[in-house]
Structure 1
C-alpha cells in the first residue's frame, strides 16, 4: 500500500479568521496535534453488509456530532486551532480487501479536512468497520459512544426503522470543565514520583512523514479467567484496575530484571476518566479528552506479593482522587507536554485501561466477533513528548480481558509474561477456595 501523504493546514490567515476559528485547543488537546493522532476502534463482523446503510449511518453520525466535521489548523508556532467545517464532507468508505489486517484506510485521514472517518473493508461474508476519531476532540469514552450510536443507526436503517438525530454542541476540554467547577491548579501535580531528568530542548516540528498505523500486539483471556480476576478483586477489596496494573508491572519487571531477579524501579502513568468523577458529571459527547493522569512508582519485585502491590496502586489512586490531585492534574500538562515543557515523564510504563466495551445494538443476522484499539498518525513529526518505554492498552470485550502492547524489545516474551501473571491472578481465587475447604 502506498503511504498517505498528509498536508498540515498552516495558513495564518485561516487560523486568525474569527469566522473560521471555533477556539484554540487546550493543552490536553494540543498533545495530539503534532502527529495528527486519530484513535481508532475496529470491529470484526460476520454476516451481510448493507453498504448504503453504512454510508447513511455515518452521515447521521456527522449530523449528530458536528465536531467530527470540523478541522484542525496550526499557526507558525504549531499551536492547534479547532476550525469550523469546510465546504465538503467525506463520507464512509467501503472497499473490498483483507478483513484480517488493519492497514492504512482506503481514504486519506487529514485533520485539515475533517476529524472523523469510517473505514469498512468487506470480504466473503465478513467485514471490518473502523471508526477513526481525532484524539484532540475524542477520547475513548467519546469515540466508543460515537461507534455505539453508529451501530444503532445502522441497525435502524437496515430494519427500516426511523432514526432520530439530535445534533450535539461542540465538546469542551477538560480544562474548561475543570474551570466551570472551580478546580484550580495545586502545588502538587501528582507526577512527582515519575518525573525524570529535565527534557532536552524541544525540536522544531519539521516536515511531516507519511501516515502510519499502530496496531498493538495483544493477548486475550477467556471469560472464565477474566471472571475469576474480577471475583478476586471483589473478594480482596481491591479494584480490577489495581490487580491488572500490578500484574502488568510485575510482567515488565520480570523481563527487565537482572539474573538475580532483584526488584526493578518502575514508574507508571495511566489516564483516569473524570466524566463520572466531576460534579455534575460530563456526558460522553460533552468533553473531548476527559482523562486526568494518575501515577505510581515502586520497586517491583517479580516474586513479591501481587495483591499487596495491587493494594498499593489502588490506595494511591484513591488518595489522589479524594485529595483532588487527579482532577487538577490536567492543569500541569504544559509543564510536561509540548515545546514549552520543563519536566520529563520519559521512560515510564503507560497503561490505558478503557474498561468494558458496551454491547452494540446490531441486526439479528450479524455477529461482532472481535474488537481492537488502533492508532493512526496522519502526519507524524519529530516528537516533543515524553515517550513511554511500553504502552499497554487494556479493555474487556464480550467478557474477555484483552491486553495490547506497543513498544518493548521482545513483544512475544513480554506478552507471554503478561499472560502468565494474569493467569496466576485468576488462579488466586481457586487456591483460596481450595484452602477454605
Structure 2
C-alpha cells in the first residue's frame, strides 16, 4: 500500500489550486449520513485524507491514517464560505473539504479538492460516488466500508507503465510548487432547456459539437473586442482533453490525479459572425485529428522531458484576447439521491486564477440545460468587458 509518494512536475503545477464542485438540493438532507458517506469515501480513496509534506527540496503527498478532512457547516448562503475556504486553503493541512450549507427547504453541498490530486474527471467521480454512498446509507443497504489500497499513481508513472514515456525520465525538483495565488473572478452564462435544445440543433446542423460551437462563438466574441477591422487575426483556442480513455488499457477516473492536457488550435478569425459554424468545424476536426493520431498524448509525454511544470507561472499583467481555453465537462449526469432529496443544480467554483492571460471557459450541461462558466483575473478583465463577451456569445449561439 502506497501511503506516501513524490508529486511529479505536472501535479506540482496544479498544487494549491482548490476547486469545489457544488450541488444545490431541495428537500431534507440527513447531515449525519452525508458526513458518514464522506468518511467512507475518504476511506476508499486515501488521497482525500492526505496532505502535502516537504523533504529535501521535494514535495510529497502523504496519506494520514484515519484522517477525515474538515466538514464545514453553514447556515444560509454558501458562497461567502467557499470563498473563505479558498483564501485559507493550506495543502499542508489537507487536500479536501466538505461544505454543507442549509437554508429553508434546501441548501448546497460542496466537495472541495486541490487540483493537484484531482482533475475535473476525478472530481466528478468523487462527487458521484459520494452521493451513491449517501443514497445507499439512507436506504440501509450494504456497502463496501474497506479502506482503499493506496494513493493514486502520478501521471508520470501512468505514462511510463503504458509505454508512452521512457522509464528513465525522472521527476523534476518541485521547489516552486506553491505558486502565488490570485483570486479568480467568475461569470455564469445560463441557458434554459429550450435554448439548449436550439444550441444542440444548431451544432447538429453544422455537423459539429456543442463544445466546438461554443469555441467558435467565444473566438468571435473575443475577436470582436480587438482592433483591426475585419482583417483575420490568428487566435489560439485550447481544449483540455482527458487522456485516461486514450491509454491502452484505459485508466479509471480515480486511478491517477491529473490526466487532462490541452490541445491548442490556431485559427485565423475575422469579425464575421456568420463564420461561427466554420470555426466550430475547424476546432472539432483539428481536435479529433490530434486525438486519433495520438499527437496530444505524445505532446503530454514529451512535456515531462522539456517543461518544468513546477516553475511558477508568469504573473500576467496584460490581457491577451487572442488566447482562450474552453474546458468541456460534457453532460453531467444526475446524482443519485434519496427519495426525499432532489438535486436541482450543479456548478463548479475555481478559487484561484491559473497564470493565463486570457479567459477560461468551462462548458457543461446539467439536467438538459447548458452552462458556461467564465473564469478570469479581474485586474486583467473588467466586468463590463466580460458582460459584453457573454452577451455576444449568447447572441451567436441562439441566432438562427
TM interval, short-chain normalised? 0.7 to 0.9
Within 2, Cα distance between the matches of 1:386 and 1:109? Answer: 18
2:258 to 279, 289, 299: 289
Within 1, Cα distance between the matches of 2:95 and 2:204? Answer: 40
- Match of residue 302 from structure 1: 271
2:61 matched to 1:82? yes
- Match of residue 144 from structure 2: 164
Distance 1:333 1:376, change over 3 A: farther
2:380 matched to 1:399? no
Within 2, Cα distance between the matches of 1:20 and 1:289? Answer: 18
Which deviates further from its counterpart, 51-60 or 338-347? 338-347
2:246 matched to 1:267? no
2:383 matched to 1:411? yes
1:49 to 29, 37, 48: 29
Q: CA deviation at 1:336?
A: 4.6
Within 1, Cα distance between the matches of 2:333 and 2:146? Answer: 21
1:369-388 Cα distance to aligned partner (Å, 9 max, x none): 322211235xx9xxxx7523
Distance 1:208 1:398, change over 3 A: same
Q: CA deviation at 1:333?
A: 3.5
- Contact 1:99–1:123 under 8 Å retained in 2: no
- Contact 1:95–1:120 under 8 Å retained in 2: yes
2:156 matched to 1:175? yes
Distance 1:296 1:163, change over 3 A: same
CA RMSD for the aligned pairs? 3.2
Within 1, Cα distance between the matches of 2:337 and 2:61? Answer: 33
Q: CA deviation at 1:150?
A: 0.9
Name the SS for the 1:288 alignment partner. coil
1:324 to 288, 291, 294: 294
Q: CA deviation at 1:61?
A: 0.8
- Match of residue 154 from structure 1: 134
| Mapping of residues 341-420 of structure 1, within 5 Å | 347=320, 348-376=323-351, 386-407=355-376, 409-420=381-392
Within 2, Cα distance between the matches of 1:106 and 1:207? Answer: 14
- Match of residue 145 from structure 1: 125
Aligned residues: 381
1:335-389 Cα distance to aligned partner (Å, 9 max, x none): 4554559999994312211111111011222222322211235xx9xxxx75232
Q: CA deviation at 1:65?
A: 1.0
- Contact 1:121–1:128 under 8 Å retained in 2: yes
- Contact 1:355–1:394 under 8 Å retained in 2: yes
- Match of residue 235 from structure 1: 205
Distance 1:124 1:261, change over 3 A: same
Within 1, Cα distance between the matches of 2:312 and 2:299? Answer: 15
Q: CA deviation at 1:183?
A: 1.5
1:244-294 Cα distance to aligned partner (Å, 9 max, x none): 111111111112335x34433322222101122222111111121111220
- Match of residue 27 from structure 1: 9
Name the SS for the 2:298 alignment partner. helix
1:92 to 62, 71, 81: 71
Within 2, Cα distance between the matches of 1:147 and 1:309? Answer: 34
Within 2, Cα distance between the matches of 1:388 and 1:51? Answer: 41
Gaps of 5+ in 2: 167-174
1:159-188 Cα distance to aligned partner (Å, 9 max, x none): 333333454442223332222222248xxx
Name the SS for the 2:83 alignment partner. coil
